[in-house]
Structure 1
Amino acid sequence: MSESLLTLLDWRRRLNDLYAEVRRLRRGDPQAAHAHWQEVRNELFARHPQTPLTPEARAAFTALPVWPYDPAYAFCARVQTDLPTEQFVVQTSAGHDMPLTRVGRVALRNEHHDLGTLDAYWIAVYGGGLFVPFRDGGSGRSSYGGGRYLLDTVKSADLGNSPGGELLLDFNFAYHPSCYYDPQWSCPLAPPQNHLNAEVRAGERSAEQHA
């Protein structure tokens, strides 16, 4: 048990280091940041004791399937906070309750796309963290039906802010929760208000789909 917790600590430290480097690289070269993100995550999934892959999947693993980097799916969004604070209890993939507090809403609009809005949540458990999950028009086909994560500061998945204070929300770094790989994990699922109509062909995708 103690050894498992120490390897989990190492996993989290490595993710923290990864996203710190991604933020640094992304300021000058988003595509290089994306390539580094893929490289390190592939290494962690293949070799780390805390990989979410099952032993069978790990034996056959080569790389996580990811769409090529597309700058059209990168957004800067100011968090709209003049909304009523709402408490939610969402279901996890294992049927557990997860308390969330809505802290605002972000509009996903740039010169290429207008995808709509997503609510941003604070995970209302010890320590807390900002959390933006989503489902899109391809969920259940080109990606996991339970949705993907765009931002989850509990797991260090955070691209930071623009110089103007806007959240950097880049779908090229969207990823599947651990329960996508192994149902033993319990992951909060994207609530109905975080469903996008369009298919977002950026970030991590299902292995059955081809770019």
Structure 2
Amino acid sequence: MSRLDVLDWRRRVGDLYAAVRASAAPADGHALWTAVRDELFATHPASPLPPAARAGFRGLPVAPYDPALRFEVPVLEAEPAVREAATGTDGTVRFERVGRVALPGVGDLDVWWLDQYGGGLFLPLKDPGPGYGGGRYVLDTVKGADLGGARDPREALVVDLNFAYAPSCAHDPAWACPLPPPGNAVDVPVHAGELATG
């Protein structure tokens, strides 16, 4: 895998999320998201799956779409905070808390800004449900994972837990991923999105 493979992966993911945002219905976007991710994982040189695991790959385990787990919520004010996550691949990654979202029936989640070159919104999730035990990502806009919302996210941000996905390190320990901090943990099991494989 080369750096240009990673660039192509990120472009494809960005295109995928653009198509999801343009879908006529969220469930249609979710079906597209599931199908394209399965294809990328199976065939792309920058797949998080180790090459040996790709031959027998039959698709990621993804829960059926649940419209009750899609929210359009404002980004509320939160006490500023800084978090630094050491990774083996990207060095120390710095995040700034820029707000929080309140998800009825689920809980509150901190919204972070990746404070590196270019920046991006980062919204991870950790719950006691059937997802990856280390936590999952819902939004990571620096890598294209953006579900949209109002032009001003303080008015409305789409947080659709059906699109929660395991970070690359869940598939291959060669990757190092920032995991959700305490402000992104909820007590409610979230039976949505990509589920644990083992």
TM-score bin, normalised by smaller chain: over 0.9
Task: Give TM-score scaled by structure 2 length.
Answer: 0.93
> Which residue number in structure 2 is paired with residue 14 of structure 1?
12
Name the Cα RMSD after superposition. Answer: 1.9
> Which residue number in structure 1 is paired with residue 40 of structure 2?
44
Measured after TM superposition, the shift of residue 95 of structure 1 is: 11
> Which residue number in structure 2 is paired with residue 5 of structure 1?
3
> What letter is aligned with 1:6?
L
> What letter is aligned with 2:15?
D
Measured after TM superposition, the shift of residue 149 of structure 1 is: 0.3
Secondary structure in structure 1 of the residue aligned to 2:55: helix
Q: Structure 2: how far apart are the matches of 1:125 and 1:163?
A: 22
Q: Structure 1: how far apart are the matches of 2:192 and 2:118?
A: 30
In structure 2, stretches of 5+ residues that fail to align are: none
Contact 1:143 1:206 in 2 (8 A): yes
Contact 1:101 1:121 in 2 (8 A): yes
In structure 1, stretches of 5+ residues that fail to align are: none
> Which residue number in structure 2 is paired with residue 30 of structure 1?
26
Q: Structure 2: how far apart are the matches of 1:68 and 1:126?
A: 36
Measured after TM superposition, the shift of residue 56 of structure 1 is: 2.1
Moved more, 162-171 or 123-132: 162-171
Q: 1:84-163 counterparts in 2 under 5 A?
A: 84-92=79-87, 97-109=92-104, 114-138=105-129, 142-162=130-150
Q: Structure 1: how far apart are the matches of 2:119 and 2:196?
A: 29
Q: Structure 1: how far apart are the matches of 2:162 and 2:151?
A: 20
Secondary structure in structure 2 of the residue aligned to 1:60: coil
> Identical aligned pairs, as a percentage?
52
Measured after TM superposition, the shift of residue 84 of structure 1 is: 2.7
Measured after TM superposition, the shift of residue 98 of structure 1 is: 2.5
Structure 1 residue runs of 4+, over 4 Å off?
A: 91-96
